[in-house]
């Protein structure tokens, strides 16, 4: 219990600073494991820009750790003698030291009246202590983790103590991409992971802890962390989500935390088929009933879309996350076209691109390729287009289907005008380098970011539903292809796969491709 408490307290003190100005005191109670420890000591709760802050002094005194205060430098040193662990923080300094190793803080420690305060929201996310705020009773409820079980979905402390007992540290999985589109969070990972997903309130959010995992170098170069070891991107095109945050939650053991900040409490379900993608899909009231968040499930194959009866051509889109594919089985299942990931960014080429292209060709499946766009500037977009063109050339040049710009989210928060400039720069450069008119892939909501000048490009749109068709947006009132599921099941592919439908029959698709050559 002491060891768990130490880790919980250490990270509570280290990582939980949301704001530091305009603090206002308010009367409130603090309870630790049901014992009122606030009223007896005359403690006050602080509120900073809407955040409730908890005084650390009480927790320090209750847990009994040694604390040294150097008034001259404003430095607090905390020591756990039993574990030989030292933590040093300085008021108004965003850098802390843990056992001699520097760690950045998002906000420097807040000192008011000789007391250091920690925001309640961050405490509830980052520590092994259970922390809740009862607004009706104006009480902070603190609970230490149970020792009866070595596992806790929200406990960093228990994870750390478990790993300390292991002789060897797992090499772990590598997260290469985090994106939010079409009402779902997608985590691309190289390796098998078992995410622990929970919901928290005040404010509402979904927290996904990925143990034995780290962020890839490519990811960190394109979406770097701040000095506090955290990153975030805004979500402007979803009614339920404001932003997605991610952090290196622990380095020993390796662990990544991803947080979906919600506008209000929203149910979800988890899809994890060990296929290189973990999906946290927010449930939509307009669609079929989905599993509740208390029972995460691995998704099974969805029903075919209602318009499939029209005889529309069916296809898939894949990347290296889908592993080794038996393309003959895919063809035998009735899939007649496939889009294959070729590139991302300015240098990356999918290591299964050429294998997948050849396999699909051998199975007489129409082949296309897509590039996942990360650029935030016109020059960056042109460089990414050059990377895409090089990959197409390595595959023998012209492919059957149009080349695709995959532009589906806005992690850097650039403006709508900039989004349009970047997209046009990429599309124009692809056409210049390859001689072919590309098409646009995006989500049904993100598609509204594109102005009417993009109507000259065909639209491949994602909307995950078996009943809700894609809706019209300013640039497009019809779609060329529809990605209707990210959790399909297709013979020849292990795990979930994206399912697509062309807006016409296979004969009509072949005829349109032939006309393009004339």
Average pLDDT over residues 505-515: 93
Residue 481, pLDDT above cutoff 90: yes
Cis peptide before 253 (omega within 30 of 0): yes
CA distance 308 to 482: 11
**Of residues 47, 406, 429, 500, which has the active-site annotation?**
406
| Residues 279-303: tens digit of each pLDDT | 898 876 443 333 333 333 333 344 4
Q: Which residues contact 149 (CB under 8 A, 6 or more apart)?
A: none
CA distance 139 to 480: 56
Candidate ranges 177-191, 197-211, 236-250, 497-511; pick with highest mean pLDDT = 497-511
CA distance 472 to 76: 58
Q: DSSP 3-state assignment of 52?
A: strand
62 is catalytic: no
Q: DSSP 3-state assignment of 500?
A: strand
Judge contact between 316 and 498, C-beta under 8 A: yes
Q: What angle do CA 484, 509, 429 make, to 5 degrees?
A: 80
CA distance 332 to 341: 22
Q: Is 285 exposed, middle or buried (0-12, 13-18, 19+ CB in 10 A)?
A: exposed
What pLDDT is recorded for position 10?
44
Query: CB atoms < 10 A from the CB of 358, how many?
Result: 14
What pLDDT is recorded for position 486?
85
| Residues 160-219: tens digit of each pLDDT | 223 323 323 345 788 888 988 878 898 988 888 888 898 887 788 899 989 888 888 778
CA distance 82 to 65: 10
Residue 320, pLDDT above cutoff 80: yes
**Angle of helix 56-63 relative to helix 2-15, nearest 10 degrees?**
160
Cis peptide before 293 (omega within 30 of 0): no
CA distance 362 to 318: 16
Distances (CA, A) of 398 to 234, 392, 441, 466, 488: 37, 7, 19, 33, 28
CA distance 175 to 160: 20
Nearest CA among 70, 16, 88 for reference residue 48? 16
Per DSSP, 305 falls in state: P
DSSP letters spanning 430-467: HHHHHSS--EEEEETTGGGGS-GGGGGS-EEEE---SS
- Pairing mode of beta strands 35-36, 29-32: antiparallel
Phi and psi torsions of 62, nearest 5°? -70, -40
* CA 154 remoteness from chain centre: 17
- Provide the percentage of residues in the chain whose pLDDT is more than 70: 63
CA distance 383 to 375: 9
**Of residues 62, 212, 408, 500, which has the active-site annotation?**
408
508 is catalytic: no
| Residues 324-381: tens digit of each pLDDT | 999 999 999 999 999 999 999 998 999 899 999 999 999 999 999 999 999 999 999 9
CA distance 261 to 240: 9
Nearest CA among 34, 33, 51, 31 for reference residue 43? 31
CA distance 245 to 261: 8
Average pLDDT over residues 108-130: 54
**Of residues 47, 125, 283, 317, which has the active-site annotation?**
317
CA distance 258 to 245: 6
The phi-psi region of residue 356 (left if phi > 0; otherwise alpha if psi is between -120 and 50; otherwise beta) is alpha
| Residues 208-234: tens digit of each pLDDT | 989 888 888 778 877 777 766 778 888
Phi and psi torsions of 225, nearest 5°? -85, 160
Lowest-confidence range among 37-51, 154-168, 376-390? 154-168
CA distance 50 to 198: 23
209 is catalytic: no
Phi and psi torsions of 256, nearest 5°? -120, 135
pLDDT band at 456 (very low <50, low <70, confident <90, very high): very high
| Residues 410-452: tens digit of each pLDDT | 878 889 999 999 999 999 999 999 999 999 999 888 899 999 9
Beta bridge partners of 471: none
Q: DSSP 3-state assignment of 411?
A: coil
Phi and psi torsions of 174, nearest 5°? -120, 125
């Amino acid at each position: 219990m002491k060891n768990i408490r130490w880790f919980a307290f250490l990270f509570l003190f280290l990582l939980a600073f949301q704001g530091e100005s305009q603090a206002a005191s308010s009367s409130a109670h603090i309870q630790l494991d049901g014992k009122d420890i606030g009223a007896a000591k005359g403690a006050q709760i602080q509120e900073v820009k809407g955040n409730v802050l908890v005084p650390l002094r009480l927790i320090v005194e209750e847990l009994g750790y040694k604390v040294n205060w150097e008034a001259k430098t404003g430095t607090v040193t905390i020591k756990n003698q039993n574990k030989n662990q030292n933590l040093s923080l300085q008021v108004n300094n965003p850098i802390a030291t843990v056992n001699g190793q520097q760690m950045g803080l998002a906000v420097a420690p807040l000192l008011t009246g000789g007391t250091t305060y920690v925001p309640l929201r961050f405490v509830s996310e980052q520590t092994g202590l259970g922390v809740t705020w009862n607004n009706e009773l104006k009480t902070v409820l603190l609970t230490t983790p149970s020792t009866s079980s070595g596992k806790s979905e929200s406990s960093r402390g228990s994870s750390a103590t478990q790993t300390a007992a292991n002789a060897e540290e797992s090499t772990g999985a590598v997260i290469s991409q985090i994106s939010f589109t079409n009402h779902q969070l997608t985590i691309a990972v190289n390796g098998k992971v078992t995410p622990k997903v929970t919901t928290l309130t005040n404010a509402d959010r979904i927290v996904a802890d990925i143990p034995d995992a780290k962020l890839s170098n490519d990811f960190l170069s394109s979406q770097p962390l701040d000095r506090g070891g955290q990153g975030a991107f805004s979500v402007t095109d979803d009614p339920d989500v404001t932003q997605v945050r991610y952090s290196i939650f622990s380095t020993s053991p390796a662990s990544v935390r991803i947080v979906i900040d919600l506008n209000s409490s929203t149910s979800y379900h988890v899809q994890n088929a060990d296929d290189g993608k973990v999906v946290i899909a927010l449930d939509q009231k307009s669609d079929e009933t989905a599993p509740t968040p208390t029972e995460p499930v691995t998704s099974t194959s969805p029903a075919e879309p209602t318009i499939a009866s029209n005889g529309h051509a069916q296809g898939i889109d894949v990347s290296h996350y889908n592993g080794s594919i038996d393309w003959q089985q895919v063809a035998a299942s009735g899939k007649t076209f496939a889009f294959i990931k070729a590139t991302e960014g300015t240098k990356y080429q999918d290591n299964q691109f050429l294998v997948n292209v050849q396999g699909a060709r051998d199975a007489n499946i129409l082949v296309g390729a897509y590039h996942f766009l990360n650029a935030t500037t016109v020059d960056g977009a042109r460089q990414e287009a050059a990377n895409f063109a090089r990959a197409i050339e390595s595959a023998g040049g012209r492919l059957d289907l149009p080349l695709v710009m995959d532009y589906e989210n806005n992690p850097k928060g650039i403006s709508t005008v900039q989004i349009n400039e970047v997209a046009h720069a990429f599309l124009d450069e692809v056409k210049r380098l390859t001689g072919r008119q590309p098409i646009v892939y995006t989500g049904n909501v993100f598609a509204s970011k594109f102005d009417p000048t993009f109507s000259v490009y065909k639209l491949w749109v994602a909307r995950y539903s078996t009943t809700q068709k894609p809706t019209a947006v300013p640039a497009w009132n019809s779609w060329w292809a529809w990605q209707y599921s990210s959790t399909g099941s297709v013979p020849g592919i292990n795990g979930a796969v994206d399912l697509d439908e062309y807006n016409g029959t296979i004969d009509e698709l072949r005829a349109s491709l032939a006309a393009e050559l004339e």
